[in-house]
Structure 1
């Protein structure tokens, strides 16, 4: 069993102490977000766990606790979202340079398979047009590939309808734009595996690609 900790909330950023205590207890309880009365017990016993996947935007508070996870004797992967967007879009997110240092520290200490960089969601706004993403992705990738071992980068591209009410003028993202972004990335990607994940929920005629690619 692979424990996802957690796609529902940022455990490494906010609940690291709770996670460590549950690991010591050997189990945790998970409530159904749509029906809080439905609670199931999940075993965290070593014999029941094959590995952990941690999802976060702020790895800093959890870095020290990864030693405890390693001592648990099961592999783990940290999937950290680093976008470096303007503060108008991400006012509370950790500075991208600090996040890069955190993720590189994980790769250097626990191996490259323990570190996954997520560049998502890709928002096309008046502040972040296609050209912005080309430069921004190249800058972040360049900071990461200084480390000589391979990286995995997942890029989640959301196809937004014109009725989306996000600020700064979000426009519809078409498959042509997605292909343009991927084809124009200038950074040497020999040490980065780019995995596009397309999520579509638009009825716009140009938004045809709605399959979700999982890895």
Structure 2
């Protein structure tokens, strides 16, 4: 159970620092970032092929006369300035701009301008970065975490049940085998005694069948004369 809780805490820790990615190479791209999280913006393919570039955030209220604020300024593979360098990094080789610990002021419309070696503007693109109070994937992530927790609890219960079964099953089988052996042992003498009794019965019957009949003697009564009687036993 401690492992389950540890895994859940680890997953919750990962969800707290959610990192999102947005391809800003298309003009008018809509990008999102979680408050306190990280966003990776793909601004260009390779900055080394661009002579000079600036990436600026435009004012939220377009009616104001406030100038845009340049966030990033670079020349080919060299970053000239980065206004939020303490929590961001730009990688010229792949043109990605990574912003950590997003706050409300990071949201807005950004504009990328590129210039050629003559100082002429070669391209202009915008993207909209929206900062959300919570991770938009948090409900889905919470559901996944809950399902995983339930699955882990079920697995632990199954494992515990499987561990108990091998301990009780051999005892039941052993008792059955011992009982069966006792029954067989009791039956054998019974059969032998029955067979022996049958044999003895046959012997007694044979003795009665073939034994000689006892002679009967008749005593004369009173004054009757006694005549010798001769009887031949058959």
| TM-score grouping bracket, smaller chain normalisation | under 0.3
Task: Tell me which protein shows more helix as a share of its residues.
Answer: 2
Higher RCO (CA < 8 A, seq sep 6+):
2
With normalisation by structure 2, the TM-score equals 0.20
- Normalization by structure 1: what TM-score? 0.21
